Structures are given as structure tokens and as C-alpha cells.
Chain A
């Protein structure tokens, strides 16, 4: 299957700082990338969908000014958590999709905000 990487794999930051997470499709062109959040013992919740070169579409309840998504190329999308707070601590997972194939997930990024 196709490979998606994320960086960093985990991050600890102070409250009020911003954190950027990168998502890369390594061996395919991801026309669409998805960002999910997963709290402990809960399922994945879609945060936003982004298509290369256009603005992301956010799910209801997700603040677009807090979770900035950039999808500047067919192989890279970034999620920036701005002014992070402890309640933003979670497992953030991206996925990429090319053409009509299924989504391929990255390994996830664990964020802990102190």
C-alpha cells in the first residue's frame, strides 16, 4: 500500500505556543488529505479535508483559525495548532488519498500541551 509519513511523531509544548505537524505522501500524489483527531479510547474524528491548492473544509465544531491547514503540494499538508491549550492534547492523524483509492493513514502525532 501507499505510505504516508508524519512529523513529528510526538511533541510536548507549553500552553500558548503553536505546533506544526507535517504530513507527507511518500510514494503517491495525495490530491486530498484528511486530518483526524483521536482522544484516548475514542474513535477518529475528522477535523478537516484539504485539496491541494485550495482552502481546507472544516468539520462542524472545528475552529479554522485555531487549526490552520495548508496543502501546498500533492505530497505535503501541514496542520498548525495555534495557541495550543491542554485540551488540544490528542493524537492527530493525517491520511492521504489519490484518485479513487482508499485513504492511507500516517502513523500519527501525539501532542501533549502542558
Chain B
């Protein structure tokens, strides 16, 4: 059974800090790893990672995947209060349904 573990479970930082969120996984047939941001509604897509060592960047957010060690990190630099959310990591398998298995998420709170 596919499994995704995220750490830490929750995190409180001050505005301007840099944070690193961790995601480790076990998946039978790996296709991709995805990061989502969830506020009060459904998740919004951040990144899809398929290859090791290639950093994806979007503004202050970046992510990288290590397929050998089976983990990924999501970095947020110069955090803002608007970054407060739950960050979800999911892995997608190569089955015909390409199902996503989600981790429990990291709850990030950015304070002033």
C-alpha cells in the first residue's frame, strides 16, 4: 500500500522566516510527487515533481525530489501571513487510475 509521511505535523514561524517541509514516501510504482496548499477549501496545486535533483520554483516557494532516498522538501522563503495553510504532499502511481495518496499534511502558521 502506498504511504506518505509528512513532517513536521505543525509549525509556527514568524513572518520573514524560511521554512522547510518534509515528505517521505513509499509507492509501488512511482509516477510523480505533488505538493498542494490547502486553506479552507480544496487543495490548490503547487508543484509536480517527477525527476530527482531538479528544483522547481515558483516565487518564494521551491521544491525538490530525491527518488533514491524517497523524499521531497518544500521550501518557503521570507514567509508571509498569507502562507498560513496546510501543505499536503501526495504521490501518484503509474496504475491505470493514477491514484493520489496523500500525507496528513503540515499545518503552517505564520505570525506577525
Contact = CB atoms under 8 A, between A and B. Distances in A.
Contacts of B36: 105
A102 B45 contact: yes
Most buried by B among A1, A32, A105: A105
B31 to A, nearest CB: 9
B97 A43 contact: no
A34 B42 CA distance: 13
B48 A102 contact: yes
Main secondary structure of the interface of B (DSSP, over half): strand
Interface string B50-90: 00000000000000000000000000000000000000101
Interface residues of A, number: 19
B21 to A, nearest CB: 14
A27 B103 CA distance: 29
Contacts of A1: 45
B42 A43 contact: no
A4 to B, nearest CB: 8
A45 B103 CA distance: 10
A93 interface: yes
A62 B109 CA distance: 33
Most buried by B among A93, A103, A107: A103
Contacts of B92: 102
A49 interface: yes
Interface of B: 32, 34, 36, 41-45, 48, 88, 90, 92, 97-105
Interface of A: 1, 32, 34, 42-46, 49, 57, 93, 97, 102-108
The 9 closest A-B pairs by CB, nearest first: A105-B42, A108-B42, A43-B102, A49-B97, A43-B104, A93-B42, A44-B102, A107-B41, A107-B42
